[in-house]
Structure 1
Amino acid sequence: MGGYGVMSNGESVDYSVHEAWNEATNVYLLVILVSFALLLYARKNKRKIMRIFTMPPTVGSSPEPNFYDSLQKVRLRQQLEMYSLARKFDQQQQQQQQQTEVQESVQLSME
């Protein structure tokens, strides 16, 4: 019996191993080239690809806001109202001080 890759009569060489190796090598090269092309495409079109994998908002979901978000909005509204009331109070105090100063200056000038 002959060695692996050699026919039994010893005259001709069996090239099936070499052909299988060449085909496997070609497949590996093809896989590498396709992977490289996909990598370049993914870098160029990252946003398009990410848009595919992101979940769109569900249509059937209830439009009710989250309780924590609504609570934050209420607190923010209360803080804004308190701030505006404090500003109005300060403005009124300043106006009263100016009026008393004017009245005092008028009284001093009259005397």
Structure 2
Amino acid sequence: HLGGAGDSDAIDYSVHEAWNEATNVYLLVIYYSLFLYFRNKRKIMRIFTVPPTAEAPSEPNFYDSMKKIRLRQQLEMYSIGKIVTLQNQAPTVWVF
């Protein structure tokens, strides 16, 4: 019967109409959120930035001192290894 074809066209039209309304609502929400973001950008960005703490300068000093201690240990072990290898070498005897 021909009424069924007309009903499917009506359904298609209502789907398109609902889709248009939904996209309009989404666009309005996006525009409104962008408006609020640019209006309150400084306040919003302040939420995501971490305020500097008083103990921040001590951390790099701690890590720097640990690096220096580790470097000193490595240099000491290297020099001790050089001394030990020089002591363990057989003396060279020159025969003329």
**TM-score, normalised with respect to structure 2:** 0.49
Bigger Rg over Cα: 1
**TM-score, normalised with respect to structure 1:** 0.43
Task: Give the number of the structure whose residues are more often helix, by fraction.
Answer: 2
